[in-house]
A and B are shown apart, each in its own frame.
Chain A
Amino acid sequence: MNGFNRRRAALCLLVLTLGLLCAVTAAGTLLAGQAMVTDFTRKNLPPCVPFLFGTDWMGRDMLSRTLTGLSLSIRIGLLTAAVSAGIALLVGACSALLGGWVDGALSWFVDLVMGIPHILLVILISLAFGKGFAGVVAGVALSHWTSLARVVRGEVLQVRAMPYVQVAEKLGLSRWAILRRHLLPHLLPQFLTGLVLLFPHAILHEASVTFLGFGLPPEQPAIGVILSESMGYLTTGKWWLAVFPGLSLVGVVVLFALLADQLRRLLDPASVHE
């Protein structure tokens, strides 16, 4: 009975991914100073023992630059995902609970935002907010809430129509009690999974707008900046400038997706016996 079941495996994997992501963030923050150090005696080194990811044309250590970039990405991801999820919860819940013309208007607005290509919207909002950190966070946060808002709206509508909620109303429970006892517990797993799944999106879009030059300023060692700078050196055979930072970005995104998957498995009551 108490063997190594799938639930326990999911929990281990969850802790492991969370630990890895924390380690990357901590390492990146600690190495932030080292990422800016230039030394022309060691420029353009391919990957070797002291510099695992090689060095660039100014002799900067690519490993510490990559880690610093990732930690910046993770922090931006956290912030934007939290803001996005907050907006999604508000819009989705209002839409479902108020109904009528409010629902119509909000659903129309969700469709409108969804209809504009993500990257275009992120660039426009980022420009409007003056680019930089604030621009990227605003751009990604204000464009990524739509699908989660739809999920929240659908879930609230569905649970509200369930017989057990109607029975609870007839038993004289207050609206607040029904919200707390019946709606929130059903909403939480969907919401948390949606929230964590927002991270990879946010991180990738942050890197893309920065790569395109509408995001973080060039002096910051962000993944998007590193990748866009490396473009000029790829043709001269300096492959390590793009390959390692690119792969690490993919790695972080996969870790977040894995995290969301394990979280969903742990919160889903149907998997209690797995």
Chain B
Amino acid sequence: MSLEGKNLSFAYRRQGRVLEKLSLTLEPGERVGLTGASGRGKTTLCRLLAGYERPDRGEVLLDGRPLGRWRGLCPVQMIWQHPETAVDPLLRLRDTLSEAGGVEAGLLEALHIQPGWLDRYPAELSGGELQRFCIARALTPGVRYLLCDEMTAMLDPITQAQIWKLLLEQAEGRRLGLLIVSHDSSLLQRLCTRVQTL
């Protein structure tokens, strides 16, 4: 019962492999940190594990089954580094959230999302405010693994602390597996059960 990446290799072009025979396993309730210099394939690994890209070689298994075979809501959700591209600019945020099948009010409050924001368009909110919506959307019931790609890099330290506290509570309560990508080694030290360097 885990999310496994087995011998993953991936290249965006014919030459210049980004990932070479990389393996990574994420158990429920585990918090794995992922760090490494820019361009080493941290985001690419997240995209592979979340099923946005297919690996050239190797496979991504969820509970022993290939991830590509899951239909409907994918139990592995990724939180993108740039929230402004991850929400439809023509939809009010209420409609964006409804795609995740509705989010409970307590979660919105915990993420400090003001009720008035729900009726705004993405262009009327800041990056940090949008990221909270992306987190709320990714925490929909049925999700078991969250891949957080530089999720709080654009937030101020206090908000960062609030969001990580909430996420750790959620992860604990629902036994979520977290993959946390960051350049901030002290953040990873604080949050993760183990850290892997690419």
Contact = CB atoms under 8 A, between A and B. Distances in A.
Contacts of B117: none
Nearest to B100: A171
Contacts, number: 55
A163 interface: yes
- Main secondary structure on B side of the interface with A: loop
A181 to B, nearest CB: 7
B85 A172 contact: no
Interface residues on A, range: 10 to 19
A156 to B, nearest CB: 15
Which of the listed residues B78, B86, B99, B123 has the most CB atoms from chain A within 10 Å of its own CB? Answer: B99
Interface stretch (B20-28, B87-95, B161-169): B87-95
Contacts of A250: none
B99 A163 contact: no
A247 interface: no
B123 to A, nearest CB: 7
Interface residues of B, number: 27
B106 interface: no
A170 to B, nearest CB: 4
Interface string B92-109: 000110011100000000
Nearest to A164: B88
B86 A163 contact: yes
Contact of B90 (A166, A167, A172, A185): A185
A164 B88 CA distance: 6
20 contacts: A162-B85, A163-B86, A164-B85, A164-B87, A164-B88, A165-B88, A167-B86, A167-B137, A170-B73, A171-B74, A171-B137, A171-B140, A172-B73, A172-B74, A173-B99, A181-B88, A181-B99, A269-B89, A269-B123, A272-B121
Interface of B: 50-52, 71-74, 77-78, 80, 82, 85-91, 95-96, 99-101, 121, 123, 137, 140
